Structure 1
Amino acid sequence: MVLQIAYAAVSAIFPTKYYVHIACASLVLLVAYAFAQGRTTNRERDLHARVVILTGAFTPLGLTLLTALATRGAHVIAISSYPLEHAYPSLIIPLLRTTTKNENIFAEHADLSNPASIREFCTRFLTGQDQRLDAIVFAHEYRGIGSIFGKSRNKAEELRETSSLATFLMLTLLLPALLVEPAERDIRIVNIINPFYAASTPLFPTTLSSGAQSPSLFLQEGARALRTAVLTRHLQRVLDSLPNREVTPDSRGTKKSSGTTSAQSPKGDEKPRALELQPSNIIAVSVCPGISRKDTIVPLLSAQQIDGTERSLVGFFIYVLLFPILWLFTKSPTASVQSVLHVIFLPTPLKRALAHIDATINPTQPPKGESSTDDKQGRPRVVYEEVVKPGALYRECAVVKVDVPPLPQAPAAAEIIEAPKSGTGEHKTKEKGKSKDKGKKLPQVTFPDDGEIGGEEVGRAVWEWYEEHLKVWEARFKAAEVKGEESEGQSGVDATS
C-alpha cells in the first residue's frame, strides 16, 4: 500500500516520459560530484610509534587529519591556539582517544600569533624526555584568511604574514631535532597550502621584490600559498646539501650507516660504490587539498564566525542559497585530506633504494611493496611503485608543476656573463667600470639550482624574506611586552601613591 502511494506520487510529479532524462541528469550530477571530490589515495601505512606534530588541528581539515592519523596508531601532538581548558582540546582529545582506541593523542598550547608562545612550546619539546619526531604537518595555513565582505584588508594581510612566519619559526626551531635523528629514519615535513597559489604565479617575483600588495583577495591568498611552496622547495635544497651519512649493505644484506661522506671507498680505492651520498632522509613537501567548503568557501564569504572574525549575514545567506551547488562542486574535509595522507603514506626514494639493495643481494625476493612477474623468457620483471618526490607540490595525489618566473633583474654593478655549471653553483662576473675586485667571483652556492618552483634564486629570496620579517615580528612583540610591563609598573606606582 505504501509503495503504491509512493509510486503514484512520483508518477504525478515526474511523468513516465521523463524517466530517461532524469536518469541521465542524475548520472551527470554523480560524475560531476565524483570528479569534484578529487582522487582518493591508494596508499596505506601503519603509523604506530610515529610521532607527528600537527598544527591547525582544530580546523575542519585538521580534525579530519588528526582522526586519520590517530586511527592508524600515530602518536599525535595537536597544537592548539586555544587554552587547554577550552572546549575544543578538553573535549575533542578525550573523545578521539575513545573513538580511535589510541591513547597517544595529546594537545599542546602554542599561540601561533605569538612568537614567544611558539618558542616556549619548542623549548618544552626539545628539552623533554622523548624528542623523537617523525613528521611535522603544518595545517594552519590552509584555512582562508580574509573575506570578500571583509572591512579590514590590512588586518587580514597581517594575519597572513603572521601565519606564514609561525610556520617558519616553528620549523627552524624544531629542525635541529630532526637533523640528529638516525639517517635511516623516514621524516616528513608537510606544508598544506590554499588552492589560490596559481593565481599569483605570474606576479609573484615582482610582488616579492617590491613588497607591494595586490588589492585582490585571491592574489593575496595565492601569494601566501606560493610563498610557502617556494620555501618548502628551498628547504629541501638546503637539506640535500647537508653532509649525509652513506648507507651501504653489509655482508649479511642488512643496512648500515657510516660517518664518511666521501665519494670513494673508505679503503681508498677509486671505484665508487652505488648509493653513496644519499639525499636527506628528511622530506619536505607542499600539499594543496583543493577547494573545501569548510576551510575555503566559509571564510571567503564570512558565513561563520572564525577565531574572532565577524560573521556577515549577507555571506551566510549566500552560502545557504548556494549550498547545493557548493556541495556538488567543492570538497568535504574527508576528500580534502586525501592528498595529505598520500604524501605521508608514500615511501621515500631512500627507503626504496635500500629495498633494491636487499633485492640485489637476495634476487628471489622483490623489494617490499613491489611486485615481480616473469616475462616470456622467464626472467623476473620488477614493477616499480610510486615514491614521494622531495620538495614537490602535490595536488590530487599527484605532483604539480609550478612555473614561477625569475626575479626581475635590478640594476647592479655586476652582470652574469656565464651561466653556472650544473651542480657547481658558481657564477663568473664582470664588473662595469674599473674596480680592484675585477675578475672576482660571486659567493658560491653550496647546492645546485634545479629550477623547480622558481629555482634557487627565488627560493633564496623567499628565505631572506622570512628571516627579515621574522626579526620585525619578534621585535614588535618584545616592544609590546616592554611597553606593557612599563604600564603595569606605572599603575602600581600610582596605586601606591
Structure 2
Amino acid sequence: MVLKLTLAAVDKLLPSTYYLHVVVAVAVVLITRVVSQGRRTTRDRDMHGRIFLVTGGFTPLGITLLEQLAARGAHIIALSPKPINAPEIDLLVSVLRQTTSNEQIYAEECDLSSPPSIRAFCTRFLTGQEQRLDGIVFVHEYAQRGSLLSTTNAGLASTGAPSSGQARRSGKSWAEALEDERKAASLATFLIITLLLPVLLVAPVERDIRIVSVVNPFYAAASSLFSTSTPSAPAKIPKGLLGQEGWRALQMSVYVRHLQRVLDALPNAGQVPKTDEPTVHVVSDKLQKSNIVSVSVCPGISRLDTVAPLLGASRASEGPQSKLGTILYILLQPLLWLFAKSTTSAVQSILHVLFLPTPFKSPRAMAHAAANPGGAGASDPVAAATSDLRPEEILKPGALYRECAVVNLPLPIAPPPPDADVDADAKDSDPGVNPPPNDNELGGMHLGQAVWEHFEVALKEWEAAHPSVEEKAVAESGQTTTASVDQDASAGS
C-alpha cells in the first residue's frame, strides 16, 4: 500500500514522459562532477623511512597532504606559524597520528613571514641529530593573498605571511600590504631552499630527493606579460588580484625550473654510484643529472583553499570575514560542489609528483637490470626504461605539473643580458664550473637567472626590514653609544 502511494505520488510530480530527461540530467551532473575533480594519480609509493618537510601543513590542502603521506608511513615535519603547544596545532597533530596510526608526525614553529624565524628553524634542523630530508613541499605558496570583495586591510589573509594587524600597524595601504605578503611567501621558499640546500647536496647520491613548490592556478593570467618583461620591472606586473597572484605563481615556477638547471650543472651532479649489486643508478648525464629533483605543481581550483579566500569567507583570516562573501560562499555551494575541487582531489597532483619514479628509479628499468645484471640494461638504464613499446611515465625534473601531467606553458625565450658574453667567458675559464644548459623551457635560462637574481636582491631587502632580536639590540646599543658620545662632546665643548 505504501509502495503504491509512493509510486502514485512520484508519477503525479514527475510524469513518466520526463524519466529520460531526468536520467540524462543526472548523468550530465555526475559527469561534470567527475571531470571537474580532475585526474587522480594512478601511482603509489611506500614512504616508510622517508622524511618530508611541509610548509603550510595546517591549511586545508596541507592537512590532506599530511594525512596522505602519514598513511603511507612518512616521517613528517610540518611548519606552523603558531607555537607547537597551541591547542589547535596539538589537536590536529594528535588526530593525524590516531587516524593514520603514524606517530612520526611533528610540528615545528616557524613563522614564514619572519626571516629570523626561518633562520632559527633551519639552524635547529641543521644542528640536530637527524639531518635527513627526502622531500620539501611548499604548500604555503598555494593560497592566494587578498579577496575579490575586500577593499580594506581587514581582507588580508593570514597564511604564513604578514597579518592584517601587522599591515595596519605598518600604516601601509591594502595594496602595499598584499604585495608584501606575496613577496614574503615567495622569499620564504627561496630562503628555506638556500639554507637547506647544502645538507641536500651532501646526501648520498642514491637518495631520491624532491623539492615541490605548490603554486596557485592563476599563472596563465600573467604569462603574456611575464614573457616580455623581467621580475625587476614592477610596473609591468598585472594590476588585478588574479593577475598579481598569477605573476607570483609563474615567477616561482620559473625559479624552480632554473633551480633544476643549477642542480644539474653542479660538479658532483653527474657522479654515478659504483656498486656490485644489479641496481639501477639514480643519476645519469642523459635524463637526470642530479638526484635532487625540483618541480612545480598546480592543484587547480579548490573550494576551501581558492574560492573561499577569494570571496573573503576563509576561516584562516585573522581579520573579520566578509559577510557578503560568506553568504555568497554558502549560496554557491551546489555550484562549487559541482565545478570546484575538494581538497582530496586537489592533492592528487602533489601526490603524483611525489609518487612518480625518476628515470632511474622506474620499475621497468629496475626489473630489466635485475633480470639482466650483465646486460645492456645495467650499463644503460635509460634504454632499459624505454625499451618497452608502451610508454612509461617518469618524473620530469623542473617541470610544471597540473592534473597529474606536465604543463607545456609557451613562454617566449628571454634575451640574454648585455653582459652574458663576459659571464660565459668567466665560466669557461673555470673548469670546475659547468654552465647551466639553456633548454628554453619556461622562458629559458636567462629568464630563470633573472628571477633568481631578483630573489637574491629582494631577500637582502626583506631581511634588512625584519632584523632579528639580536640585530635590533646591537642597533639600539649602537645608537645609545653614539648619543652618549655626542652628549659628552657637547658637554666638553
Same fold, TM-score > 0.5, yes or no: yes
Aligned partner of 1:195 among 205, 214, 217: 217
Matched, 1:167 2:189: yes
Contact 1:247–1:255, Cα closer than 8 Å, also in 2: no
TM-score by length of 1: 0.81
Gaps of 5+ in 2: 152-173, 481-493
Partner deviation per Cα, 1:460-488 (whole Å, 9 max, x = no partner) = 0000111111100000011897289859x
Aligned to 1:211: 234
Matched, 1:67 2:89: no
Aligned-pair CA distance for 1:323: 1.5
Contact 1:183–1:245, Cα closer than 8 Å, also in 2: no
User: What secondary structure, in the 3-state scheme, does the structure 1 residue paired with 2:409 have?
Assistant: coil
Aligned partner of 1:467 among 448, 456, 459: 456
User: What secondary structure, in the 3-state scheme, does the structure 2 residue paired with 1:202 have?
Assistant: helix
Partner deviation per Cα, 1:356-375 (whole Å, 9 max, x = no partner) = 54444267999xxx9x9xxx
Aligned to 2:440: 451
Contact 1:249–1:255, Cα closer than 8 Å, also in 2: no
Contact 2:116–2:468, Cα closer than 8 Å, also in 1: no
Q: What is the distance in 1 between the residues matched to 2:313 and 2:474?
A: 35
Aligned partner of 1:391 among 398, 401, 411: 398
Q: What is the distance in 2 between the residues matched to 1:388 and 1:110?
A: 30
Contact 1:279–1:350, Cα closer than 8 Å, also in 2: no
Aligned-pair CA distance for 1:215: 1.8
TM-aligned CA distance change 1:469 to 1:287, over 3 Å: same
Aligned to 2:156: none
Matched, 1:237 2:278: no
TM-aligned CA distance change 1:71 to 1:210, over 3 Å: same
User: What secondary structure, in the 3-state scheme, does the structure 1 residue paired with 2:90 have?
Assistant: helix
Aligned to 2:248: 224
Aligned to 1:300: 310
Q: What is the distance in 2 between the residues matched to 1:356 and 1:83?
A: 50
Contact 2:304–2:314, Cα closer than 8 Å, also in 1: no
C-alpha RMSD over aligned residues: 3.4
Report the AA paired with residue 22 of structure 2. Answer: I
Aligned to 2:408: 401
Contact 1:246–1:277, Cα closer than 8 Å, also in 2: no
Q: What is the distance in 2 between the residues matched to 1:484 and 1:11?
A: 83
Contact 1:247–1:276, Cα closer than 8 Å, also in 2: no
Q: What is the distance in 1 between the residues matched to 2:107 and 2:443?
A: 37
Q: What is the distance in 2 between the residues matched to 1:350 and 1:177?
A: 22
Aligned to 1:314: 324
Report the AA paired with residue 227 of structure 1. Answer: Q
Query: Higher mean Cα deviation, 154-163 or 245-254?
Result: 245-254
Q: What is the distance in 1 between the residues matched to 2:401 and 2:77?
A: 24
Q: Which has the higher strand share?
A: 1
Aligned-pair CA distance for 1:211: 1.5
Contact 1:246–1:276, Cα closer than 8 Å, also in 2: no
Contact 1:241–1:447, Cα closer than 8 Å, also in 2: yes
Matched, 1:329 2:300: no
Aligned-pair CA distance for 1:5: 4.1
The total of aligned residue pairs comes to 442
Q: Which has the higher helix share?
A: 2
TM-aligned CA distance change 1:143 to 1:254, over 3 Å: closer
Q: What is the distance in 2 between the residues matched to 1:41 and 1:276?
A: 26
Aligned-pair CA distance for 1:326: 1.2
Q: What is the distance in 1 between the residues matched to 2:350 and 2:288?
A: 25
Aligned-pair CA distance for 1:64: 0.4
- Tell me the percent identity: 50
Contact 1:195–1:290, Cα closer than 8 Å, also in 2: yes
TM-aligned CA distance change 1:127 to 1:3, over 3 Å: farther
Query: Higher mean Cα deviation, 470-479 or 401-410?
Result: 401-410
1:338-487 matches, cutoff 5 A: 338-352=348-362, 356-361=368-373, 383-407=390-414, 426=424, 446-478=435-467, 482=472, 486=476
User: What secondary structure, in the 3-state scheme, does the structure 2 residue paired with 1:223 have?
Assistant: helix
Partner deviation per Cα, 1:433-471 (whole Å, 9 max, x = no partner) = xxxxxxx9xxx9711100001110110000011111110
TM-aligned CA distance change 1:209 to 1:472, over 3 Å: closer
Aligned partner of 2:272 among 247, 256, 277: 247
1:1-80 matches, cutoff 5 A: 1-80=1-80
Aligned-pair CA distance for 1:158: 1.1
Q: What is the distance in 2 between the residues matched to 1:13 and 1:236?
A: 62
Contact 1:201–1:405, Cα closer than 8 Å, also in 2: no
User: What secondary structure, in the 3-state scheme, does the structure 1 residue paired with 2:141 have?
Assistant: coil
Aligned to 1:437: none
Contact 1:249–1:357, Cα closer than 8 Å, also in 2: no
Report the AA paired with residue 211 of structure 1. Answer: P
